[in-house]
């Protein structure tokens, strides 16, 4: 594995009823729930490094700090843009921004750890 800071990836989703704060139990409004924002952000981080990992390796999330700053209604298209900002041994650090169009929805700082898949399971 030769990971270098600066790698980027983007993933997107359409907000569904299942992604709302009401459905996820994180609030009582029918907008994109924070747990779904975090899952999208983590998906972008995973995509950012997936093609550089060995077949027997994976990454697991170990920490996140999330600022959810704007709502997104059901039907909205949102996307997360991840950048690998640091590689410290097996620890990977990411900056992730989530947008609906040009509107910032969330900012996330996230750490993942490279682990041997078989040993982790």
Tell if the pTM clears 0.75, that is, is over it.
yes
State the residue for tokens 């929805």: 105
Residue 41 resides in a domain: yes
**99: number of Cβ within 10 Å:** 18
Per-residue pLDDT of the chain (121 residues; tens, 9 = 90+): 689 999 999 999 999 999 999 999 999 999 999 999 999 999 999 999 999 999 999 999 999 999 999 999 999 999 999 999 999 999 999 999 999 999 999 999 999 999 999 988 8
In-domain check, residue 3: no
User: Is there a domain that residue 2 lies in?
Assistant: no
The edge-to-edge listing of strands for the beta sheet with 57-68 is 8-14, 77-88, 91-100, 103-116, 57-68
Looking at the chain, the number of H-run helices and the number of E-run strands are 3, 5
Q: What is the domain range of residue 94?
A: 8-120
Determine, yes or no, domain membership for 92.
yes
Say which CATH number the domain at 62 has: 3.10.129.10
Tally the domains of the chain: 1
* pLDDT attached to residue 1: 61
């Amino acid at each position: 594995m030769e990971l270098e800071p600066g790698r980027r990836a983007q993933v997107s989703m359409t907000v569904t009823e299942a992604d709302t704060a009401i459905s996820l139990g994180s609030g009582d409004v029918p907008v994109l729930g924070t747990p779904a924002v975090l899952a999208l952000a983590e998906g972008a981080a995973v995509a950012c490094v997936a093609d550089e990992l060995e077949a027997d390796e994976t990454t697991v999330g170990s920490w996140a700090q999330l600022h959810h700053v704007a709502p997104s209604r059901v039907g909205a298209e949102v996307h997360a843009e991840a950048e690998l900002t640091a590689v410290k041994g097996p620890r990977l650090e990411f900056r992730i921004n989530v947008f609906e169009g040009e509107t910032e929805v969330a900012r996330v700082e996230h750490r993942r750890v490279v682990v041997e898949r078989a040993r982790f399971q």
